[in-house]
Chain A
Amino acid sequence: MMKRWQAVKRLLPLMAMFALVLSGCGREDLSVLRPQGPVAQGQLDLIKLSISIMTVVMVVVFGIAAYVLVKFRRKKGQDEIPEQVEGNHKLEIIWTAIPLLLVLVLAVPTIQKVFAYGENDWNNPEAVKVEVTSHQFWWEFNYPDYGVRTAQELVIPVGKKIAFQLKTNDVLHSFWVPSLGGKMDTNTEGSVNYMTLVADKADTYIGKCAELCGPSHGFMEFRVKAVDDAAFDKWVAAFKEPAVLPADAALAEKFKTNCLSCHAVGDQGGAMGPNLTGIGSRETIASILLNDISGKPGTKPTKDNLVEWLMEPQAVKPGNTMPNPKDLGFSDEEIVQIADYLANYKLDN
C-alpha cells in the first residue's frame, strides 16, 4: 500500500500542473485554453476529453512501472533464476481491448466535430464573408459584400458566423486565431480553404501565422477585433469614406507617387501592400510593434512605431518586400512627417 502511495506522490506535481493549466492559464486573447468562441470551445472540449483519457492511461502505466521497479529490483545474493514466463493470453487480450475502447471513446466525438467544422458557410446568407489573402508577411482581409479591403486588423461583428475563404499570394501560410478556433492553411489557387469562426464577446484577439513562410514567419501576426453590429456598420461606413491625404501638398504628392503605387488609403492607391486606411487606430504597426492604444506592456506611441518601421523596414521584419523609404528618396524629416500623418489617420468608430 505504501508503495502505491509513492507512485501517486510522484504523479502529483504532474496532475497539479495539468489542473492548473487547464483551469485557464494564458491570455484570454491568445490561449487555446481560454476559448472565446464556440469553435475554440468545442476544440478545447475535445482536448480536455483526450487529456483526461490519456492521463488515466499514464497513471496506470506509471503506476505499474513504479510498482515493478520497486518490487522486483535485484537484491543482494539473489541468484536463483526467475521463472521464464512466455506470456499470458488473457492479459494480452485485455491490454489490446482496453486501448481499443479508449480510442473508440475519443473517435466518436472526433468524427462528429470533423464534419461539424468541415461545413462550408461561404454561401450561407447569414454569414459575414471574408476573403483572407496571406502575403510575406502580412494579412489582407477583403469583405466582398461590404466593398472593404483592409489589412492586419480584421474587424468582425460579435456573435455572427464569419465565413473565411483562405488563400495565399505567395508561399503557404496558416491562419490561426487560437482563442477563436484552430488554424487552417492558406494554400495557393486551386486548393483554396474555407472555415467558419464565431466570436462570443467583444474583444481584440491575437492571430498568428502558423506555417513557416520565410524569415519573418514569427512576426506575421494580426488582430481580430470583435465589435457589436452597430460598431461594425460604423466601421464599414468610416472605412469607405474618401481618402485623407497629408495636409502638406508637396508631401501628399510624394506620398501618392511613392507609397500609393502599392498601398491604398480610402478610395486611392493600389492593393500590392497592406491597406493603410485608418492605420492610426490599429493596435500594431507591422504586427509586432505594439501601439500604445492596445494598452499592453511594451507599447509605444503609434507615431514612434511608424517612424521605427519606416526608417528601416528590414530591421523590423526581415525579408519583407517593402522598399526602404530612404531608397525612394524620403528624407528623415519627411519620414517623420509621413509617420505623423499616418498615426493621425484614424477611423472614427
Chain B
Amino acid sequence: MAHAHAQSHSVKRYTGLMDWLTTVDHKKIGILYLIAGGLFFGIGGIEAILIRLQLIKPMNDLVSAQVFNELITMHGTTMIFLGVMPVIFAVMNAVIPLQIGARDVAFPFLNSLGFWTFLFGGILLNLSWIMGGAPDAGWTSYTPLSTTDYSSTHGVDFYTIGLQIAGLGTLIGGINFLATIITMRAPGMSFMRMPMFTWTAFITSAMILFAFPAVTVGLVLLSFDRLLGANFFDVAAGGSPVLWQHIFWIFGHPEVYILILPAFGIISEVIPTFSRKRLFGYSSMVFATILIAFLGFMVWAHHMFTTGLGPVANALFSIATMLIAVPTGIKIFNWLFTMWGGQIRFTSANLFAIGFVPTFVMGGVTGVMLASAPADFQYHDTYFVVAHFHYVIVGGLVFGLFAGLHYWWPKMFGRVLNETLGKWTFWLFAIGFHLTFFVQHFLGLLGMQRRIVSYLPNQNFDELNFISTIGAILMGIGVLAFLANVVATSRKPVGAPNDPWEDGRTLEWSIPSPPPEYNFKQIPLVRGIDAYWKEKMAGNKEMTPSEPVGPIHMPSPSILPFVMSLGLFIAGLGFMFSTEDFSNSFMSLIFNKYIVLIVGLLITFAAMIARSLYDDHGYHIEVEELEGEGKA
C-alpha cells in the first residue's frame, strides 16, 4: 500500500496501548469514555449496594457511621460526575459527528484532553478510599460540615480537587461539542434538520458552558477555605454557609438537566426507529428542550426551600419549578404519539426507551409535588426525595443510556448485542428499580430522613427498607447481565451491517459499522429531516454525496493530552498535601515546599508549550487508500 504523503514529516501510527493513549479519534475516545465511565459506574453501584445492605434491617452494623457517610458521599459524587456523565459523553462522542455528517469533532486534540482530565480527576477522587478517608460531607458538601473543623481527613480535599480536574474535562468536552455542532454540520443540515439527539447534546453542552464555571468557582473557594485558610464560608469571619448552597445549586440544578436532556435525545432517536415513524412534533421537541434548559437555570433555590430564604423567594422558585412540567409534558406526549400509528418493535433498546416513559413520568410528577414549597417542608431531606431523584436519574437517565447503548452498540463496535440477554437486562433492572425506589416514597412520608446510617425498629421502616434492598440487588444482577452481554458479544466477529435495525433514520446508519476512521468517504448532502430515511424512501441505497472523493485530512495522534492531565493529577496531589504534617522528612520537603505541586504544573505547562511550538499539520488519507477501504 504505497502512497504519497503530502506532508513533509511522516505520521506516527501507534498500536496497542499506545494507540489508545494517543488517540484523537472521536470514536475511540467515545469507547474510552465508555470503559472509564462503566468502571466508575460499577464502583458507584457497589457503593449503592453496600448502602442498601447496611439499611436492610434496623440498627444494622455492617459499616460504621463514618464509612456510611463516605459511602453516600462517594456514591452520589461518583454516579453524577464519574458514572453517568462520561457514559453520556461516550454516546455523544460516538454518535454526534456521525449524526451531523462530520469526520470528527471540531477539536480532536481537546477531545482527548477532556477525556484524560476526566479520568485523572476521577482516579484522584477514588484514591481517597486508600489514602486516609473518602469525602464524608455528602455529594453536596454543605459547609460547615465540609470544612476542616468538622471533616478533618483529606476526604473533602479529594472531592474539591478531583472534581475540579474532572470538571475541566467536562467543560472542554462541552465547548468542543458546541463548536462541532455549530460549525461542522454536513451541507443541507440546518439546525431544524438536526437529529434530536444532536439537539439535546447541543443544549446540554450549552448548559455545561454556563453551569460548570459556577461549580468551578465553588470548588476553588472551598479548597481555599480548607487548604489556605480562607474564610468564604466561615461565619465568624464574615462568610456564609448559605453562599455555598447557592453556588452549589446554581450549578447543581442545571446539572440535573445536563444529565437528563441527552437521555431525552436518545429516547427521541430510539422510539422513532423502532416505531418506523418520524418523531412527532419535532419543532415542539426542540422548543421544549430549549425551554427546559432555560428554566433549569431559574430553579436552583427549590433545593433550598427549608434553608429559610423567606416566602417570596420560596413562592417564586415554586412556580418556576412547576413550569418545567409543561415542556416535559410536551415531550412525553410527543413520544407517545410518535408510537401512535407506528409499527412498534420490542427490541432491548426499545424496551428501555419504552420503560423510560412511565418511570420518567413518575419521577416528573413527584418533581412537581416537591416544587410546592410548603409540602416540600415535609418531603425535603427524606426518602421521598431520594425516591424522586432516583426515578429521574436512574429511571430516566440510566434507562436512556441503556437504550442508547443497545441501540448504538453495533455502530460503535460492529456487533449487535444479544437480544435475549438484553431483554433479561431490561426486566431484571426495571423490576429491581421499581422495587428499590417506589417504596422509598412511602418511607419518606412515614418519617424516614435521608442519609441516615441506621434507624430504630418499629417505626414502620423495616419492611419497606428490606424490599428496597432486595430491589437494589436485583438491579445489580441486571447490570451483570448487561456485562455478560458485552463479554459474550465481544467474542463474536465484527459483522453488523450499516443499518442493523433496518429502520435507521439518521446519517450514522448510512456508513459502515463500525465506521472507518474518517467516517464519511464523501460528506453527504442532507435533503431533509431524517436524512438517511429520506434517501431510503426515495429508493437510494446511499446518501447523495456533497463532494467528490478527495484526500481526507486527519489529525495526528498525540500523547500530550495524557501528559497534561497527568501533570494536573500530580499537581492536585501536591496541593492537597501541602499542609500535611508528614513524619517522613523527605515527604515533608517535597510536599510542604510545594515541590510536588510545582513539578506537576511544570509537566502540564511543558506539554502545553510543546503543543504550541511544534506545528503538527496532521496527515492525509489519499484517494487510492480510500478506494482500497471503505467497504461495508
A103 to B322, CA, bound (A): 6
B381 near A57: Cβ-Cβ < 8 Å:
no
Q: Which of A88, A193, A288 contacts B337 (CB 8 A)?
A: A88
- Closest CB of chain B to A137's CB: distance in Å? 10
**Cβ–Cβ < 8 Å partners of A206 in chain B:** 447, 459
Chain A interface residue number, banded: 35 or more
A208 near B377: Cβ-Cβ < 8 Å:
no
With an 8 A cutoff between CB atoms, is B550 at the interface? no
A178 to B461, CA, bound (A): 14
Contacts A46-B374, A74-B345 given; does A215 touch B65 at CB 8 Å: yes
**Cβ–Cβ < 8 Å partners of A318 in chain B:** 64-66
Q: Which of A106, A166, A181, A215 contacts B453 (CB 8 A)?
A: A215
With an 8 A cutoff between CB atoms, is A42 at the interface? yes
A183 to B450, CA, bound (A): 13
A296 near B330: Cβ-Cβ < 8 Å:
no
B144 near A188: Cβ-Cβ < 8 Å:
yes
> How would residues 212 to 246 of chain A score, 1 for a CB under 8 Å from any chain B CB and 0 otherwise?
11111111000000000000000000000000000
A72 to B358, CA, bound (A): 18
- Closest CB of chain B to A17's CB: distance in Å? 8
A52 to B406, CA, bound (A): 36
B284 near A185: Cβ-Cβ < 8 Å:
no
A83 near B341: Cβ-Cβ < 8 Å:
yes
Most A CB contacts (10 A, CB to CB) among B329, B332, B447, B451 go to B447
> How would residues 395 to 415 of chain B score, 1 for a CB under 8 Å from any chain A CB and 0 otherwise?
000000000000000000000
A190 to B319, CA, bound (A): 27
With an 8 A cutoff between CB atoms, is A69 at the interface? yes
B322 near A106: Cβ-Cβ < 8 Å:
yes
With an 8 A cutoff between CB atoms, is A85 at the interface? yes
Q: Which of A72, A96, A116, A298 contacts B456 (CB 8 A)?
A: A298
A81 to B502, CA, bound (A): 12
With an 8 A cutoff between CB atoms, is B191 at the interface? no
**Cβ–Cβ < 8 Å partners of A62 in chain B:** 358, 361
> How would residues 63 to 93 of chain B score, 1 for a CB under 8 Å from any chain A CB and 0 otherwise?
0111011000000000000000000000000
A99 to B242, CA, bound (A): 33
B459 near A30: Cβ-Cβ < 8 Å:
yes
Chain B residue at minimum C-beta to C-beta distance from A221: B456
Chain B residue at minimum C-beta to C-beta distance from A22: B445
With an 8 A cutoff between CB atoms, is A31 at the interface? yes
With an 8 A cutoff between CB atoms, is B362 at the interface? yes
Most B CB contacts (10 A, CB to CB) among A40, A50, A185, A212 go to A212
A72 to B241, CA, bound (A): 54
Chain B residue at minimum C-beta to C-beta distance from A193: B308
**Cβ–Cβ < 8 Å partners of B149 in chain A:** 170
With an 8 A cutoff between CB atoms, is A268 at the interface? no
B306 near A103: Cβ-Cβ < 8 Å:
no
Contacts A33-B446, A206-B447 given; does A185 touch B374 at CB 8 Å: no
A182 near B277: Cβ-Cβ < 8 Å:
no
**Cβ–Cβ < 8 Å partners of A189 in chain B:** 235
Stretch among A107-115, A154-162, A255-263 lining the B interface? A107-115
> How would residues 41 to 77 of chain A score, 1 for a CB under 8 Å from any chain B CB and 0 otherwise?
0111011001100100110011011001100111100
A297 to B446, CA, bound (A): 18
Chain B residue at minimum C-beta to C-beta distance from A188: B235
Chain A residue at minimum C-beta to C-beta distance from B345: A74
With an 8 A cutoff between CB atoms, is A323 at the interface? no
**Cβ–Cβ < 8 Å partners of A116 in chain B:** 374
A85 near B280: Cβ-Cβ < 8 Å:
yes
Query: Using a CB-CB cutoff of 8 Å, which residues 1-48 of chain A contact chain B?
Result: 21, 25-27, 30-33, 40, 42-44, 46-47
A114 to B316, CA, bound (A): 10
A84 to B595, CA, bound (A): 65
A211 near B453: Cβ-Cβ < 8 Å:
no
B459 near A27: Cβ-Cβ < 8 Å:
yes
Query: Using a CB-CB cutoff of 8 Å, which residues 338-363 of chain B contact chain A?
Result: 339-346, 354, 357-358, 361-362
**Cβ–Cβ < 8 Å partners of A110 in chain B:** 315, 318-319, 322, 371-375
B372 near A82: Cβ-Cβ < 8 Å:
no
B381 near A69: Cβ-Cβ < 8 Å:
no
With an 8 A cutoff between CB atoms, is A337 at the interface? no
Chain B residue at minimum C-beta to C-beta distance from A297: B458
With an 8 A cutoff between CB atoms, is A127 at the interface? no
**Cβ–Cβ < 8 Å partners of B341 in chain A:** 72, 82-83, 85
Contacts A96-B330, A189-B235 given; does A183 touch B306 at CB 8 Å: yes
> How would residues 353 to 395 of chain B score, 1 for a CB under 8 Å from any chain A CB and 0 otherwise?
0100110011001101101111111101110000000000000
**Cβ–Cβ < 8 Å partners of A290 in chain B:** 456
- Closest CB of chain A to B31's CB: distance in Å? 32
Chain A residue at minimum C-beta to C-beta distance from B374: A113
**Cβ–Cβ < 8 Å partners of A113 in chain B:** 373-374
Q: How many residues of B contact A (CB 8 A)?
A: 91
With an 8 A cutoff between CB atoms, is B138 at the interface? yes
> How would residues 433 to 454 of chain B score, 1 for a CB under 8 Å from any chain A CB and 0 otherwise?
0000000001011110111111
A182 to B384, CA, bound (A): 13
With an 8 A cutoff between CB atoms, is B278 at the interface? yes
> How would residues 454 to 467 of chain B score, 1 for a CB under 8 Å from any chain A CB and 0 otherwise?
11111110000000
With an 8 A cutoff between CB atoms, is A148 at the interface? no
B314 near A319: Cβ-Cβ < 8 Å:
no
Query: Using a CB-CB cutoff of 8 Å, which residues 476-508 of chain B contact chain A?
Result: none
A211 to B315, CA, bound (A): 22
Chain A residue at minimum C-beta to C-beta distance from B443: A26
B144 near A171: Cβ-Cβ < 8 Å:
yes
Query: Using a CB-CB cutoff of 8 Å, which residues 267-285 of chain B contact chain A?
Result: 275-278, 280-284
With an 8 A cutoff between CB atoms, is A252 at the interface? no
Contacts A82-B276, A190-B240 given; does A184 touch B336 at CB 8 Å: no
A211 to B142, CA, bound (A): 10
B378 near A99: Cβ-Cβ < 8 Å:
no
**Cβ–Cβ < 8 Å partners of A176 in chain B:** 381, 449
Contacts A32-B446, A184-B306 given; does A72 touch B69 at CB 8 Å: no
With an 8 A cutoff between CB atoms, is B609 at the interface? no
B453 near A103: Cβ-Cβ < 8 Å:
no
B66 near A217: Cβ-Cβ < 8 Å:
no
With an 8 A cutoff between CB atoms, is A118 at the interface? yes
**Cβ–Cβ < 8 Å partners of B358 in chain A:** 58, 61-62, 65
> How would residues 282 to 303 of chain A score, 1 for a CB under 8 Å from any chain B CB and 0 otherwise?
0000001010000011100000
A42 near B374: Cβ-Cβ < 8 Å:
yes
**Cβ–Cβ < 8 Å partners of A209 in chain B:** 449
**Cβ–Cβ < 8 Å partners of B144 in chain A:** 170-172, 188
Which 6 pairs from chain A and chain B are nearest by CB?
A182-B377, A218-B452, A118-B311, A54-B365, A215-B65, A74-B343
Name 14 interchain pairs, CB-CB below 8 A, sorted by A. Answer: A32-B378, A78-B343, A82-B343, A86-B278, A86-B282, A92-B333, A117-B374, A170-B149, A182-B380, A184-B308, A187-B241, A210-B306, A214-B69, A215-B69
Q: Which residues of B contact A (CB under 8 A)?
A: 64-66, 68-69, 137-138, 142, 144-145, 149-150, 235, 240-242, 275-278, 280-284, 306-308, 310-311, 314-315, 318-319, 322-323, 325-326, 329-330, 332-334, 336-337, 339-346, 354, 357-358, 361-362, 365-366, 368-369, 371-378, 380-382, 442, 444-447, 449-460, 537
Q: Which residues of A contact B (CB under 8 A)?
A: 21, 25-27, 30-33, 40, 42-44, 46-47, 50-51, 54, 57-58, 61-62, 64-65, 68-69, 72-75, 78, 81-88, 91-92, 95-96, 98-100, 102-103, 106-107, 110-111, 113-118, 136, 166, 170-172, 174, 176, 178-179, 181-185, 187-191, 193, 206, 208-219, 288, 290, 296-298, 318-319
